[in-house]
Structure 1
Amino acid sequence: MEMSSRLAFPMAFFLVLLLVWVNEVCGESNTFNVKDFGAIADGETDNSKALLNAWSKACQEKDQGTVLIPSGTFMVKAITLQGPCNDQTAFQIDGVLQAPSDPSFGTDHWINFKSINGLKVHGNGKLDGQGALAWSQTTCGGNADCKIPPVSVKFNSITNASIQGITSVNSKFFHFNIGDSEDIIISQVKISAPGNSRNTDGIHVSKSKNIQILNSSIATGDDCISIGPGNTIISIYGISCGPGHGISIGSLGRYPDEKNVDGICVRNCTFNNTSNGLRIKTWAPSPPSKVTGVTFQDIVMYNTGNPIIIDQQYCPAKPCSAKVCPYQH
């Protein structure tokens, strides 16, 4: 009896260790570190192929695969991370993903997440768009036919996603562009670019539904958040905005057949050193469309040029038509 009890304890202890080891191995097997695919953290080597290969593996996992960007600076050229994936897929940024400084990508994006259900982008790392050269060369501030620089991160046809904790700096154009997407929560992100950087909107949303932008800090050279046509149920809460152009619905009415905007709620936000606070902007003349169900509540502003403004003759690029659309009242 004494001998069997002596043997039982070491055996039980061994089984516990074995279970812990199996747990760790199984957990790690779903995480794909870009360095294991040849990525080099020197800020110069093109790591696009390594990232694509890591994404492919994670996307094929049947139990949430994770792409890991570890500490260090990894340069990546224009890339599309495509679904559909077999299960939820996570993109964990602990280091720095850095864009090339050259603004002539030949694409409208730097990183494009496309056709994914169950995407999670998170971490304490940074996306560096290296936009300084693009800002100095762009003519988009006064030319409607300009060549638009690439967006830092596009979320195209994404559903059931979360974006949390990451930092985006110095985008060449918009930082985040969300389109044709549904059920996305963005929280605790930090977005920054100099106040004089052109067209560096923090978050732009179009043709999307049920998007929440929460508890984040946005300081840019353009709109902190811009809400384009075709959006329904956009909730913005706890945003610190400034410098920048404020939070805008629009611009709207520039193109025919734009869809209406409905259910926009902006609450508990602070504006500091912004040219505008809360803005609705439409082109003139423009086809008929509607903005309905808008709530602005519990807003604090410091040194804000236009606290609330509705501009129905918006025209940032000359020449502008002096004709006022008969649909505008």
Structure 2
Amino acid sequence: MALHFITALLTVMFLVFVGRARSQTRVFDVRQFGAVNGGKIDSSDALLSAWRQACSLGGMNVIRVPRGTFLLSPTILAGPCRGSMELRINGILRASAALSSLDVDYWIVLQRIDDLNITGDGVLDGQGHSAWKYNDCFWNPKCKTLPTTLRLQDVNNTLLHDIASVNSKSAHLSIFACQNVSLERVKLTAPGDSPNTDGIRVGMSSYVFIRDSVIGTGDDCIAMNHGSVKIIITNVTCGPGHGISIGSLGGSPDENPVRLVWVGNCSFVGTTNGLRIKTKATSYRSLVSGITFADIHVENVTNPIIIDQQYCPSHTCDPKAVSLVAIHYVKYKNITGTSSSQVAVNLQCSPAAPCLNVTLQDIDLSYHGDTTSSCSNVFGSSSGIQHPPPCVNNRS
């Protein structure tokens, strides 16, 4: 099953992106539209003007941000466009540090576009240091969401590669309601204590491929929220951060399932979590199914393998509440390395919706002493090396 959808995804990506090279190409340099190097004068109108002109034309159209530093206020680059679009960033795009930049929950948005390429060796500088002190979400459930650096919304057949994002005010990259998106060789960084600076958030999207990237943040390196289907993550280095997570789920009615996720050949260094599935309690009904974590190495990770169906970051939830999110067919294969806590495998599933068909194969996690497992309401099987000893109930 997993190999089949990986092969299908790679085939789709190859056909989409190779076809672009045959199109006529025009280049629109933002300086020709009034962008000013130096990072002092707002260049958002120049970028928007270049985008609108390019978007109105057929063929392949490139909007180029050259070497230099360009100040950019919150900007929406919208389609549909007549041709294929490329945003080529070779310089630094710098967000505003002014309080007015916090009035919206985005910095750069690309939306309603088919055939999009985001490339270059440039940097998106979110200026997060100016905003993190205003994040009070840990104790305020009605907190204001700070701006996401780059949001892809309703875009299809998209390749993003070799871009760096630093010091996002909130998440670095959000992928929502998209299909056929490939992220390659991206570098996303923020201090380990920066609040809610997720690396990549995925939701309501399918055929998403993330590979060969380095992510170190103050929150999840990658978070797959409801409606994430057919996601492949490979050769990603995560740390610092909260690991690669599915969820949190169950907080809203009618959430779409998370299905067919493959996380392989990844490493985690000094993170609070490694491979995590998290659902809220009390929760609405939802489903997680067909998840594979394979060939993973962890180094000094607090919770290398964790399912938490009592996820409550505000610590104000009812401890007697239960999650109604079902978790089925989850496989952990060849997970090795070191835990910074004794409980290296922590699978706490809901009594109202027990985890079914959970497979542990070749788990080898060490601590200063012997590692242990802790399980509740987990049914499945184990095989091969098991260090710590497994605690799943051997039935499905």
TM-score normalised according to structure 1 size: 0.90
- On the 8 A contact 1:75/1:99 being kept in 2, the answer is yes
State the Cα distance separating 1:135 from its structure 2 match: 1.0
The counterpart of 2:245, out of the listed 248, 255, 258, is 248
Deviation by residue 1:207-239 (Cα, 9 ceiling, x = unmatched) = 000000010000000000000001110100000
Match of 1:108 in 2: 105
Shift in Å, 1:143:
1.9
Q: How many residues matched?
A: 303
Distance of 1:103 and 1:216 partners within structure 2: 32
Q: Decide whether the 8 Å contact of 1:141 with 1:199 is kept in 2.
A: no
Quote the residue 1:145 is aligned against: 142
C-alpha RMSD of matched pairs (Å): 1.3
Contact persistence 1:228–1:251 (CA under 8 A): yes
Residue 209 of structure 2 is aligned to residue 184 of structure 1: no
Aligned partner of 1:239 among 227, 236, 241: 236
Amino acid at match of 2:142: D
Cα distance in 2 between the residues matched to 1:133 and 1:114:
27
Q: Distance in 2 between matches of 1:188 and 1:63?
A: 26
Specify the code of the residue in structure 1 equivalent to 2:209.
Q
Higher Rg: 1
Q: Which residue of 1 aligns with 2:76?
A: 80
* Larger mean Cα displacement after TM superposition, 101-110 or 196-205: 101-110
More strand by percentage:
2
Deviation at 1:327, TM superposition (A): 3.3
Name the structure 1 match of 2:4: none
The runs of at least 4 aligned residues of structure 1 exceeding 3 Å deviation read none
* Residues 103 and 229 (structure 1), Cα distance of their counterparts in 2 relative to 1, 3 Å cut: farther
Contact 1:103 1:131 in 2 (8 A): no
Cα displacement string for residues 271-298 of structure 1 (whole angstroms, at most 9, x for unaligned residues):
0010000000000011111100000000
Q: Could you say which residue in structure 2 is the equivalent of 1:64?
A: 60
The runs of 5 or more residues in structure 1 that have no matched partner are 1-25
Number of the residue aligned with 1:45: 41
Give the partner amino acid of 2:36.
I
Aligned to 1:264: 261
Answer yes or no: is the 8 Å Cα contact 1:70–1:95 preserved in 2.
yes
Corresponding position of 2:384: none
Match for residue 201 of structure 2? Answer: 204
Unaligned stretches of 5+ in structure 2?
A: 1-22, 323-350, 355-396
Look up the match of 2:29: 33
Contact kept in structure 2, 1:143 and 1:318, CA below 8 Å:
no
Kept in 2, the 8 Å contact 1:243–1:273? The answer is yes
CA contact (8 A) 1:312 1:328 kept: no
Identity %: 44
Q: Which amino acid aligns with 1:271?
A: F
More contact order relative to length (CA 8 Å, sep ≥ 6): 1
Aligned counterpart, 2:312: 315
**3-state DSSP class of the match of 2:131?**
helix
Written as runs of structure 1 = structure 2, the 5 A alignment for 1:117-132 is 117-132=114-129
TM-superposed deviation, 1:323? 3.0
Deviation at 1:57, TM superposition (A): 1.5
Task: Write the mapping of 1:294-305 to structure 2, written as runs, cut at 5 A.
Answer: 294-305=291-302
User: CA offset at residue 103 of structure 1?
Assistant: 4.8
